[in-house]
Structures are given as structure tokens and as C-alpha cells.
Amino acid sequence: MDTALCLRLARGRGKAPHASMVAQTEHLPYADQTIDLDPEVKDAWGMPAPRMTYDRQRPNERARVDFMLEKMEEIGRAMGAKQGWRAPLGQGAPGAHHEGGTRMGSDPKTSVVNRYGQSWDIPNLFAMGSSTFPTMGEGFNPTLTIQALAYMSADAIVNRYRKSPGPLISV
């Protein structure tokens, strides 16, 4: 969840009169937060539309936002801010680094894809990207991990799957 703080800094030579800070917080991967097909809402072609069940107001997530806002205010005071305003929290979906939806795992009962991003149910379907992460862990930018997993998956597709189509992992 993005949080923002606006500051009024002391005027003076070389100092900007205003500044702003933004922070992102990590959300835990709760089992009841899901993406499924809505039984009532249809898309333009009459197919069931995706439905996201998500609660950004859980106590842990609110506590993380409050912690980050307090830290940003502390940083602002250390920068010489004379005044600070907390921006309103957004009403929508999670923050900028989206993850989840096609959880990676070693058990088809609790995950959508195996470690190669290969669907447990459809062997010729591979999912690449951060949708396979249940969470970002430490909150670092996921780009290099996405690239590493994509490389590993592409290598398995080229050197194993193409030679012998089917599941790359037996359970």
C-alpha cells in the first residue's frame, strides 16, 4: 500500500520550500485473499470476469502503514520540516509491485505452478513474472528475481520440455 507525506520545509538558500515522500508496505499472503472467476459478472464475450477478494485494512497492514507514516514524519523533522500533511490513503488495490495470483510451490494442492512456472493442470502453460510470488519477502524490487526465474524456466522449456513435452516435475 502506498503512503505519502507532504512537508513544508524552512525557506533558505538552496532549500526547497516543499518536499514529499512516498513509501510502500508489504502485505502478507493470506489464504483467503484470492483471485477467482466471478459467478455473476461477465466480460464482453460473456465469459466469467476475474474477481479479486482482498482486504487492505487488516490490522497488520494498517500497523505497517502507520509505522511508515511515523518514520516519514520523523525523517521530515530531521530534514527541518516545519509542517507535515499525511496524504489520504488510496481506496484501491495493492501497491506498485504486484505479486500473487499464480502461486509457485511444490504441491499442486496448494500452488498453481511448479518452480519452472509450469501449470500443474496444463503442462504446456507456463507463467512468467511476479504473479508466482506469494509475497515479495523483504520488499526489494522483484525485477532481478523475475529475470532469474524466467531464465531458469526458459532453459527448462528449451532443454527439457521441447525434448519431452509433459510435466517437468512429478509429484
Catalytic residue list: 97
Contact predicate 23/2, CB 8 Å: yes
- Give 152's DSSP letter: H
C-alpha cell belonging to residue 149: 526465474
Contact predicate 35/131, CB 8 Å: no
Helix (H, G, I), strand (E, B) or coil at 149: helix
Grid look-up 505519502 returns 4
Grid look-up 500443474 returns 120
Measure the CA–CA gap between 133 and 142, rounded to whole angstroms. Answer: 9
Q: How far apart are the first and last CA of the chain?
A: 37
Q: Please, how many CA atoms are within 13 Å of residue 52, restricted to the half-sphere of its CB?
A: 11
